[in-house]
Amino acid sequence: MRGHIPTYIKLKSMIQRSIEKRELVPGEKLPSERTLAVTHGLSRMTVRQALSELVTAGALYREQGRGTFVSARKMQQRNIASFSETVRQKGFAPSTRVLEFSSIKPPKDIADKLMAVDAEMYRALRIRLADDIPVALEEVFIPFHICPGLEKKDLTASLYKLIGDTFGHKIASADSSVTALHPNAKQQEHLRITRNTPVLKIDSLYFSGNGQTLYYEHAVYRADMYEYNIRISTQPGK
Amino acid sequence: MRGHIPTYIKLKSMIQRSIEKRELVPGEKLPSERTLAVTHGLSRMTVRQALSELVTAGALYREQGRGTFVSARKMQQRNIASFSETVRQKGFAPSTRVLEFSSIKPPKDIADKLMAVDAEMYRALRIRLADDIPVALEEVFIPFHICPGLEKKDLTASLYKLIGDTFGHKIASADSSVTALHPNAKQQEHLRITRNTPVLKIDSLYFSGNGQTLYYEHAVYRADMYEYNIRISTQPGK
DNA sequence: TCCTAAAATTGGACTATACCAACACTAGCA
DNA sequence: TGCTAGTGTTGGTATAGTCCAATTTTAGGA
């Protein structure tokens, strides 16, 4: 079968939707694994696979001898949120202005982080706006071999999506470092703020599933306009 | 069998140790699932369970038709890091000064977040220091029913550990919101900084595995002394 | 009425097997 | 030499069952 969706994914989505639609409320007990297997005409192992992924994602929790229950927190796709998504979720219209784009030999610290010491790479400097108000100044470094031909692409779109969809690099994780400081002259100018508006500096290194470094991003956000929200989980199975 | 450790956990640990000891190096291919099953005298499904958890944790990655490989990044226990741990890792000596401790009826917004509207709770105001330099001012709200008898405990230790070890609440995740601002008078005084030193404001709500809210923390960090580091992963199976 | 022991239920661990889809490799053909 | 069509390997999905451990429910007895 072509384009066939695995059964356990279907069941998982079904449960996910039920939680989102509040048909299943927090604390509510799900039918037992054996019951779900019979009612859906599946084997118990298949049901377990669907439930296990939802447990890992934090949507459900299990108690041996008691049952499987809906977690109290609302489910959130806690992906690495792109700027565009974040802004849209808050009800603003995101846009992007590309200030500079070139291919360079990167500074040593950035080359080290990307594990590409002698490589040429693309560098882009972009302003990210919400309802046409400049919110962030973003500098991105992408090695040639990650995105060959990037210069022909539209950089006003989401870079996050571009790298995944067009160049086939699925972003799996990111290491970010966050701090606060005062903007320098260039940042003040582009963000149209004074030195006394503190900014959030977020440096992120993005990885694929096999641990390959994809790109490095140095971003500065107007702290009065932008808040960084994350959900951190402890490792499952530990 | 009493105190019996599941086979798949044993296999998982074995592989984990091999990676830590560099017997398995990044990029290296593991034996196939079928081979591992035979050599360890297990069924393939059991082997898959061990490997799956390591894939979820980011230690391994799979490629259909090719094999299972060791990820390039070093494995990190990506737990929610406590202040004490973070400071110690950077080579400083952490300490804590308790400024205020009382039981209060909390402000509405905090009661809402903790889903404990009419509950009394503990409130603690603490200074966190690194080598005796004040780095953070921290305000914590903990409902009575989470930590009964907290007033008898030593609050200069790690609250994170206290809640887990003494009160048996395993912290599973946290929602944090991060922004930058200028300190108010009280914060300036306690952190011994001027209004022009930007600070990182991090508000965190901590959860147990079943989504129960455990406590709320409002913290302000000297941005010139403290950096917030995180690793974010996209959801598995998405 | 209340407590306890047995039975039923539930998730946890594990085996054995089957077929599919993606990929690597190789023998053979042009 | 270079391409192609098989063929085998690998992970992906799914079934059907077994036994165990924790918990809840039920039934009986004091």
Share of residues in chain A with pLDDT > 70 (%): 92
pLDDT level of residue A17 (50, 70, 90 thresholds)? confident
Pairing verdict, β A121-130 and A133-143: antiparallel
For A39, A47, A63, A107, the CA distances from A35, given in Å and listed in that order, are 6, 10, 16, 60
Contact A71 B210 (CB under 8 A): yes
Same domain, B98 and B60: no
> Quick one: CA dihedral A12, A233, B201, A199, positive or negative?
negative
Residues within 8 A of A (CB atoms), B 15-34 only: 26-27
pLDDT level of residue A85 (50, 70, 90 thresholds)? confident
Q: Which of B11, B56, B115, B178 to mutate to test the interface with A (most CBs of A within 10 A)?
A: B178
pLDDT level of residue B40 (50, 70, 90 thresholds)? very high
Residue A238 has pLDDT above 70, yes or no: no
Looking at the domain assignment, is residue B118 inside a domain? Answer: yes
Same domain, B62 and B149: no
The number of distinct structural domains making up chain B is 2
Distance A211 CA to C27 C1' (A): 37
pLDDT level of residue A234 (50, 70, 90 thresholds)? low
For A43, A236, B140, B188, the CA distances from A233, given in Å and listed in that order, are 30, 8, 20, 32
- For the stretch B86-131, pLDDT in tens is 888 788 888 999 999 999 988 888 998 888 777 789 999 999 999 9
Same domain, B53 and B122: no
Of the three residues A70, A97, A117, the one that is the final residue of a domain is A70
Same domain, A117 and A217: yes
Of the three residues B21, B42, B70, the one that is the final residue of a domain is B70
Residue of B nearest to A177 (CA): B229
Average pLDDT of every residue of chain B: 85
Question: Within an 8 Å CB–CB cutoff, is residue B126 touching chain A?
Answer: no
Whichever domain contains B129, its CATH number is 3.40.1410.10
Same domain, A133 and A160: yes
Same domain, A64 and A92: no
Residue B2 has pLDDT above 50, yes or no: no
Question: Within an 8 Å CB–CB cutoff, is residue B78 touching chain A?
Answer: yes
The alpha carbon of residue A148 is apart from the nearest alpha carbon of chain B, in Å, by: 22
Longest dimension (CA), chain A: 66
Can you tell me the distance from the alpha carbon of A95 to that of B121, in angstroms, rounded to the nearest whole number? Answer: 44
B178 burial (CB, 10 Å; 0-12 / 13-18 / 19+) is: buried
Question: Within an 8 Å CB–CB cutoff, is residue B238 touching chain A?
Answer: yes
pLDDT level of residue A180 (50, 70, 90 thresholds)? very high
Give the domain extent around A186: 83-222
Residue B184 has pLDDT above 90, yes or no: yes
Same domain, B95 and B44: no
Residue B238 has pLDDT above 70, yes or no: no
Least confident of A58-67, A161-170, A193-202, B21-30: A161-170
Least confident of A196-210, B30-44, B84-98, B166-180: B166-180
Residue B77 has pLDDT above 60, yes or no: no
Looking at the domain assignment, is residue B227 inside a domain? Answer: no
What's the mean pLDDT in A46-58?
A: 89
